Chains A and B, each alone.
Chain A
Amino acid sequence: MRYEAPATSRDAAAILAKSKETAFVLGGGTDVLVKMRTGLIEPDLLVDIKAIPAMKEIKVSDKGFVIGAAVSGAELSEHKLLRKHLPGLVEAANLIGSDQIQGRCTLAGNLCNASPAADSVPAMIAVGAKANIVGVKGRRKLPVEKVVIGPGKTDLKKGEIIESIAVPRPGPRSGDAYLRFIPRTEMDIAVVGVGISLTLEKGFIKKARVALGAVAPTPLLVSSAARAIVGTKLDDAALEKLSKACSDACNPIDDKRGTIEYRTRIAGVLARRTALIAFERAGGKR
């Protein structure tokens, strides 16, 4: 197996574009190495992105945050401004695995691994994150909810690589939250994940984005769920509608982590709980 550690995003894209072998991007390695170990993949080439400065930094501006593809969950948790403005996103990223996993895992990796149950993806979708993609022919931006197109599949073409995740700065009176259901308290893959971002105006919900994980082949942006609560103060009736919209949007499978019935049910329960946290963070009062 070959190992390359290019110094720029363009170089990384070029190596991937040129290679005729089975090539994988190595970020935190917490998915790639597991797949190698279990024999699911046998890479001929690994392209390590951790030597690329643009991928290692978190850039803060008035517009928002640009989080490099190689930034680890642990580094995210240590970033005061990110924690302050996007607590839900940071919490979601920090739920990925143990502290040991946190030392390595990345948002971009979580996204590109494209598991339906990825923890950070519903949270990224909820806050309107976009992936900055670099290819040999240039750059493009893609909303996170359009990146994953199927279990284990992304929209990235050969020779394309995610350089960073761009998250708009939430406006005033905004709040985001992410909850997942797991049987233990840690170390499990999400049975259901819910990410919600709300912006209030005069105490009512003006904008909402509701995303679900682990309940469909890909993470879902559920517009009907958002519509159910826009214009409300998240009263019980609105919560009920939100809950139902989320359950209705579910299209999960039966597997060792959850049945269709169970996931659908829990999606509704979690949606309510997540919305309440986001609402409180946005300064809302019911």
Chain B
Amino acid sequence: MSKSTLVSTRVNGDAVEFACPADETLMNSLRDRVGLTGVKEGCGTGDCGACSVTLDGRLVCSCLVLSVEADGKEVGTVEGLAEGDKLHPLQEKFIDHAALQCGICTPGFLVAADALLKKNANPSEEEIRYALAGNLCRCTGYDKIVRAVQAAAKDIRKAK
């Protein structure tokens, strides 16, 4: 068995260190070593977005990032969206609008939608749909997800 590499990174603002094989993905390290199971493996090949995280603020699939590549960088997961006991507007709106059924795709959608709204505070329906095209949902037909994102965007704009 090959020797492990030490990875020092920040996850949701907290300094985190772990050792892992050089070919381990960030998705697996987050789930199995850091204990953050909000990141989900739906496919392992970048086709479903359930493992979405941000890397230095950039939306990525954590199944396509090696943990060693996250060394020295900032990782953002769904667990970092809420501030203490205050849910992020996206999280609130997803619940309010019934934008989740089984919920397995929800963490990925929240991270992706948050990344979208940080880039584009007033996205059109089409922009939302294309920005979230990398997140597969099999339960909802996306209707209520798009509405929840629109509602959250509105709230966030109002608060500014």
So, do A and B actually touch in the complex, CB under 8 Å?
yes
- Contact indicator B45/A100 (Cβ below 8 Å): no
Distance (whole angstroms) from the CB of B68 to the closest CB of chain A: 5
Convert B61-84 into 0s and 1s, putting 1 for each residue whose CB lies closer than 8 angstroms to a CB of A. 101111011000000000000000
C-alpha spacing A187/B48, complex, angstroms: 9
Q: Cα distance A43–B23 when bound, in Å?
A: 9
In the complex, the number of residue pairs spanning A and B with C-beta atoms less than 8 Å apart equals 88
Chain B binding site: helix, strand, loop or mixed by DSSP?
mixed
Determine if B5 and A3 form an interchain contact, defined as CB atoms under 8 angstroms apart: yes
Are the C-beta atoms of B133 and A98 separated by less than 8 Å?
yes
- Complex Cα spacing A50 to B66, Å: 13
Please tell me if B58 contacts chain A, counting CB pairs below 8 Å. yes
A275 CB, min distance to chain B CBs, angstroms: 25
The number of chain B residues touching the other chain, given as a range, is: 20 to 34
Are B66 and A29 touching (Cβ within 8 A)? yes
Closest to B60 in A: A103
Question: Nearest chain-A residue to B133 (Cβ)?
Answer: A186
Say which residue of A1, A38, A50 sits within 8 Å of B21 (CB atoms). A1
A3 neighbours in B (Cβ, 8 Å): 5, 22-23, 66, 68
Report whether A104 and B64 are in contact in the complex, using a CB–CB cutoff of 8 Å: yes
Q: How many residues of A contact B (CB 8 A)?
A: 28
Are the CB atoms of B2 and A100 closer together than 8 Å?
Answer: no
A34: chain B residues within 8 A (beta carbon): 45-46, 64
- The yes or no answer to A99 lying at the interface (CB within 8 A) is yes
A2 surroundings in chain B (CB, below 8 A)? 2, 22
* Cβ of A138 to closest chain B Cβ, rounded Å: 29
Q: Which of A39-86 contact B (CB under 8 A)?
A: 43, 46, 48, 50, 72, 74
- A98 & B134 in contact (Cβ 8 Å cutoff): yes
Q: Which residues of A contact B49 (CB under 8 A)?
A: 98, 100
Closest chain A residue, CB of each to CB of B71: A5
- Set A30, A38, A185, A187: member contacting B64, Cβ < 8 A: A30
Kindly state whether residue B55 has any CB partner on chain A within 8 Å: yes
B131 interfacial by beta-carbon distance below 8 Å? yes
Identify which of A46, A97, A186 contacts B46 (C-beta below 8 A): A97
Residues B60 and A100 in contact, CB atoms below 8 Å apart = yes
Q: List 17 A-B contacts (CB under 8 A).
A: A1-B2, A3-B23, A30-B46, A33-B63, A33-B64, A33-B66, A36-B23, A48-B68, A48-B69, A72-B58, A97-B134, A98-B135, A99-B112, A99-B131, A101-B64, A103-B58, A104-B65
5 other A-B residue contacts (CB within 8 Å) besides A34-B45, A99-B115? A33-B46, A97-B46, A98-B134, A99-B134, A104-B65
**Which positions in B face A, CB cutoff 8 Å?**
2, 5, 21-23, 25, 44-47, 49, 52, 55, 58-61, 63-66, 68-69, 112, 115-116, 130-135
In the complex, the 9 A-B pairs of residues with the closest C-beta atoms, listed nearest first:
A98-B134, A186-B133, A3-B22, A103-B60, A1-B23, A103-B58, A100-B61, A33-B64, A100-B134
